[in-house]
Structure 1
Amino acid sequence: MGKQRVLTGITTTGTPHLGNYVGAIRPSIEASRSDSVESFFFLADYHALIKAQDPALVRQSSKEIAATWLALGLDTDKALFYRQSDIPEITELTWVLCCNAAKGLMNRAHAYKAAVQANVDAGEDPDFAVTMGLFAYPVLMAADILMFNAERIPVGRDQIQHVEMARDIGQRFNHNVAELFVLPEAVVSDDVAVLQGLDGRKMSKSYNNTIPLFLPEKQLKKAINKIKTNLLEPGEPKDPDDSTVFQVWAAFADESETARMRAEFDNGIAWGEAKKQLFEL
């Protein structure tokens, strides 16, 4: 049985944070070490232009993300790691696929429909501030996938539709032009770890509540001290399963250290002490 080809895109619109590491980087790198898969990872800098109009920021983010994945153990002898914009054939294929993709299919894309609805609700023209980048985004994603005949595409639930659209576009091309493309399958894991941010919500650049990876020591300590906690006093038992401090601890500690900290919470460890130990972990 041959290896399965797995493709993962990484949008270059910010600095990697702890939530990225726990939810995506660590499991992806571990999966890439399997002898049963052929892994492709790419920096989606063309996709980034939909949200980030400053080329300097996209370039900086590309460097930070590439350095992060390599520093955290991505083995480029076992996985192909590339920048989207370095492969001109991807944009060439995007145009070819645009000439085969149905506009009605693009009209049904969740991101485009959400933007139109937001404009209607605000009393604006339905397509106010909607760029062709946003509208045609699914075709570029289809080109990313079909270019390498990727079979499995790990995505979040909000991206399933785009993989299905890539499949539809590839199938249409195979029927109308030539049987060239493998039809991809979305792979959604229900076990993806979601790390809470400084305010208790999901850690996300959108919420401005992240703890960036590789912070200098003083800035890391300051960020940890900003983690939101409740008003329970030292000596009062605390629920570890309702604590961002404990959740971050458990994401990086081994089993014995996690069990020890759970006991500390039951015994009423002070929040300041818990944060101090998290910083020193």
Structure 2
Amino acid sequence: MKVIRTIRELREELASRRALGQGPVGFVPTMGYLHEGHGSLMKRAREQSGTVVLSIFVNPIQFGPGEDFETYPRDEARDLAFAESQGVDIAFLPDVAEMYPQPTKTKVAVSELTSLLCGASRPGHFDGVTTVVNKLFNIVKPDFAFFGMKDAQQVAVIEQMVRDLNMDVRIVPCPIVREGDGLALSSRNVYLKPEEREQALVLSRSLKTASELLGNGSLRTAGDARQLLREIISEAPMADIDYADVLTFPELTVLADDAEITGVDSMVIMALAVRFGKTRLIDNALFQPKEGISHV
């Protein structure tokens, strides 16, 4: 595995590999502190790509005032060892000065999809995400880019950007990876104190219960689903709900309370953001109304 820290060297390395016919390029953009969720993306990239590129870059412009940019967990040596074990060919680790050598006057912004859910709670967050992903796509020029569905809104936003800007890359959404007890893997899980982590299991439990009731027809409307999610999450004393919503996916259209979920033509997402102490966790489950199939 090659470790590259400059845009110029990465472009030269990829040009050389393409000239040698070393295949489609699969790209996994991350902020590091890698876990098995990231590992699943790397494995998928390895299966579909001749060259696998992983980026590790904690992007300052997607963090708001008072958020955890400075304290975001970092462990370069551990990340590189893990990436190599997953078959990554190139690890790209630029610093902030390399990615933003001068104050950024250009940003890429996707409207509507970014005004709700995490976009409402974290103003400007998605502008930072789409700007850095656009930059990374221009640098790597991947054939495929792999993103985890735990950040489902991010996937929807990036897919919209790719379509709107006619970008020559295929976005590959990959399933959520969970701990054995159901907690969705996240780099921020390291922040959780033992009791907070135990109570955080209420997220996957609420999604599983709602999905099962949707599947057997006991839960019918979006309003009932929202109420059930909130009721279950509120059983955890430390849970501070940011949102618990029901929307179409990937359009992210909020369903009216009286909307019959089984009558929705598109996929439906139940999306959560909940704080436990200082740690904000997100989770979601997809439901296909016409097939009665849930993905938790």
Higher normalized strand content (fraction of residues): 2
Q: TM-score, normalised by structure 1?
A: 0.46
| Bigger helix share | 1
**Larger-gyration structure (1/2):** 1
